[in-house]
């Protein structure tokens, strides 16, 4: 395996200049801004897969900067602001006005940037107050013409337990250590060439167009290590492949053992291994129209399986070859369409297929098809400049994302890799956003989510013929007003008020947000 990877790296074209480090998907401001410019037909972007590389973002900002006559005054200021950061990827040092960085060094061979991370957020309602604080540091570096490196560490503390795999919420996931503390170490390295990159990375990623949470890969789980391959050999085609090492949280009793620890015996537990392989093809038949499709598989062999390290294959067919006559692994397919062909209007739909059968559609006893479907749109800068209207609907059928074998669930660390509402659920999201000044964003949003009965205890034999939302076991409605301002690069202050109504199964909601609550929120951060 090591020799194969080395051969691939040495065989790549050394004459091309390119470097890759990925930009944190939690820092959404620049992503939102570039997608706004794409809807204005100033640039084009691939919004179905994130994170983007810093080099990609820099090139898009530079492309937009050359079209000043097509930009509003606020957009011109946004571009000038962001280029103080991303010109690092475009220009020699001391040839541009640069943002504040704790550490920055650049010469003909080596380029490094490092910053601290500090943040605190506080919620208050009739049930009391809850805060989350985090601190750490992050850095990225380029060496030569092709190598990129990145690393970040964050220590976190919640004053109350507000994160759990059972909770249906969009907060970033955590693995608490001790009481309410958790840490997140991310990092990786890439070898890049003009039309692609190959790397090993521990970080979050999203697949699937969305405005309120993706339903293919959501990016909200704890990060996991993965091989990352990206190819862009033609303007009209992109390819992505990832192979991840997931955390099953399922104890392997055959490898666990007792040992003598001083004057007592201690049991050493091991988890069963669990892996993910996934690919995504994007075809662009016309400008600003993206058609994409792919497939994935979650498997639990003792070691990474070589057949699933082949990036371009249909994993389910391989599974049928190697597991014929026995229980198969857990495979999925997904499809999506996004269009920005009409200026100001961004339309999209995505479909996640866990399993589908045409023959079952007309059978009243076996009609279940396991899919999650999302459709939405964003109308921006028309008829009002610096304003946008957003609308999205999501439906997920019973037992989508679920699996009766504990080591084959579409999860890592027990957090669902797909939509945050999981299966047998639906949601409507509506939002209005206004950006009157550079860095200032105000939004008014409403979302209503519902979840039906939990059928996961049905097992394999009782999984067909289950009705969608036969009853509503949990519901949530949130009306929110949110204002944020980016003071300097990566430094934000945010204020919000939300009226929340949550009812039904209390296991899906932290105690702090159960019932009817009026919530006040404030956060200040430098880095995410």
- The per-residue pLDDT for range 387-420, each reduced to its tens digit, is 999 999 999 999 999 999 999 999 999 999 999 9
Amino acid 425: pLDDT: 97
Q: Residue 265: give its domain's CATH number.
A: 2.40.160.130
| Helix, coil or strand: residue 139 | strand
Q: Is the pLDDT of residue 357 over 90?
A: no
User: H or E element: which one contains 499?
Assistant: strand 491-504
User: H or E element: which one contains 61?
Assistant: helix 54-65
Q: Is the pLDDT of residue 97 over 90?
A: yes
Mean pLDDT across 158-174: 95
Amino acid 93: pLDDT: 84
Mean pLDDT across 319-339: 93
pLDDT tens string 272-304:
999 999 999 999 999 999 999 999 999 999 999
Tell me which residue range forms the domain holding 65.
Answer: 2-526
**In terms of Cα–Cα distance, which of 215, 124, 21 is closest to 518?**
124
Amino acid 6: pLDDT: 44
Phi-psi region of 56 (alpha: psi -120 to 50; beta: other; left: phi over 0): alpha
pLDDT grade, residue 457 (50/70/90)? confident
Mean pLDDT across 330-353: 98
| Helix, coil or strand: residue 81 | helix
- For residue 94 the two structure tokens come to 């001391």
- For residue 59 the two structure tokens come to 């090139």
Beta bridge partners of 156: 134, 182
Q: Is the pLDDT of residue 263 over 80?
A: yes
Mean pLDDT across 222-228: 97
**In terms of Cα–Cα distance, which of 5, 26, 1, 417 is closest to 189?**
5
Mean pLDDT across 465-493: 96
| Helix, coil or strand: residue 179 | coil
pLDDT grade, residue 310 (50/70/90)? very high
Residues 199 and 191: beta-carbon distance below 8 Å: yes
The separation between CA 347 and the C-alpha centre of its own chain, rounded to angstroms, equals 19
Amino acid 365: pLDDT: 61
**In terms of Cα–Cα distance, which of 225, 227, 223, 224 is closest to 199?**
227
* Number of domains forming the structure of the chain: 1
Rg from Cα positions in the chain: 23
Could you give the CA distance from residue 99 to residue 102 in angstroms, rounded to a whole number?
10
Could you give the CA distance from residue 503 to residue 515 in angstroms, rounded to a whole number?
6
Q: How many CA atoms lie within 13 A of 158 on its CB side?
A: 20
The contacts of residue 343 (CB under 8 Å, 6+ apart) are 39, 40, 41, 382
pLDDT grade, residue 16 (50/70/90)? very low
Amino acid 358: pLDDT: 59
pTM: 0.92
The separation between CA 310 and the C-alpha centre of its own chain, rounded to angstroms, equals 23
Amino acid 84: pLDDT: 97
Residues 277 and 304: beta-carbon distance below 8 Å: no
Asked, as a colleague might, if the bond just before 132 is cis with ω within 30 of 0, I would say: no
- Percent of the chain, pLDDT > 90? 87
């Amino acid at each position: 395996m090591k020799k194969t990877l080395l051969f691939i790296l040495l065989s790549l074209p050394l004459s091309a200049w390119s470097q890759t480090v990925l930009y944190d998907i939690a820092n959404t401001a620049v992503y939102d801004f570039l997608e706004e410019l794409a809807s204005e037909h100033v640039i084009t972007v691939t919004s179905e897969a994130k994170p983007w590389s810093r080099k990609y973002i820099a090139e898009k900002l530079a492309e937009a900067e050359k079209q000043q006559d097509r930009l509003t005054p606020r957009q011109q200021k946004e571009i000038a602001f962001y280029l103080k950061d991303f010109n690092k990827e475009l220009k020699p040092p001391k040839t541009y006005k640069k943002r504040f960085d704790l550490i920055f060094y650049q010469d003909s061979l080596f380029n490094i940037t490092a910053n601290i991370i500090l943040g605190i957020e506080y919620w208050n309602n009739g049930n009391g107050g809850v805060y989350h604080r985090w601190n750490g540091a992050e850095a990225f570096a380029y060496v030569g013409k092709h190598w990129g490196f990145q690393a970040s560490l964050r220590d976190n503390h919640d004053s109350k337990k507000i994160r759990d795999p059972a909770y249906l919420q969009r907060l970033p996931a955590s693995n608490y250590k001790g009481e309410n503390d958790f840490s997140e170490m991310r990092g990786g390295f890439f070898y890049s060439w003009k039309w692609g990159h190959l790397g090993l990375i521990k970080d979050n990623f999203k697949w699937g167009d969305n405005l309120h949470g993706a339903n293919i890969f959501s990016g909200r789980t704890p990060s996991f290590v993965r091989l990352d391959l990206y190819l862009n050999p033609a303007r009209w085609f992109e390819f992505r492949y990832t192979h991840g090492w997931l955390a099953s949280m399922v104890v392997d009793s055959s490898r666990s053992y007792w040992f003598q620890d001083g004057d007592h015996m201690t049991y050493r537990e091991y988890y069963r291994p669990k892996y993910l392989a996934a690919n995504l093809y994007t075809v662009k038949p016309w400008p600003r129209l993206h058609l994409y499709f792919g497939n994935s598989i979650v498997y639990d062999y003792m070691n990474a399986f070589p057949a699933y390290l082949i990036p371009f294959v249909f994993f389910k067919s391989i599974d049928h070859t190697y597991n014929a006559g026995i229980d198969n692994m857990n495979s999925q397919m997904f499809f999506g369409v996004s269009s920005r062909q009409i200026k100001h209007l961004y339309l999209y739909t995505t479909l996640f297929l866990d399993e589908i059968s045409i023959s079952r559609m007309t059978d009243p006893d076996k009609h279940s098809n396991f899919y999650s479907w999302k459709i939405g749109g964003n109308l921006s800068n028309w008829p009002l400049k610096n304003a946008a209207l957003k609308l999205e609907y999501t439906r997920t059928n019973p037992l989508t994302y679920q699996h009766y074998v504990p080591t084959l669930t579409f999860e890592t660390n027990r957090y669902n890799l797909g939509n945050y509402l999981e299966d047998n659920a639906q949601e409507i999201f509506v939002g209005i956003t206004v950006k009157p000044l550079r860095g200032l964003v105000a939004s008014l949003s409403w979302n209503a989510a519902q979840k039906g009965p939990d059928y996961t205890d049905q097992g394999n034999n009782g999984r067909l013929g289950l009705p969608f939302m036969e009853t509503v076991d949990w519901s949530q409605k949130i009306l929110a007003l949110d204002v944020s301002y980016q003071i300097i690069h990566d430094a934000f202050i945010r204020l919000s008020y939300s009226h929340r109504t949550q009812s039904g199964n209390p296991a899906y909601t932290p105690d702090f947000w159960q019932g009817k609550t009026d919530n006040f929120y404030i956060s200040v951060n430098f880095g995410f």
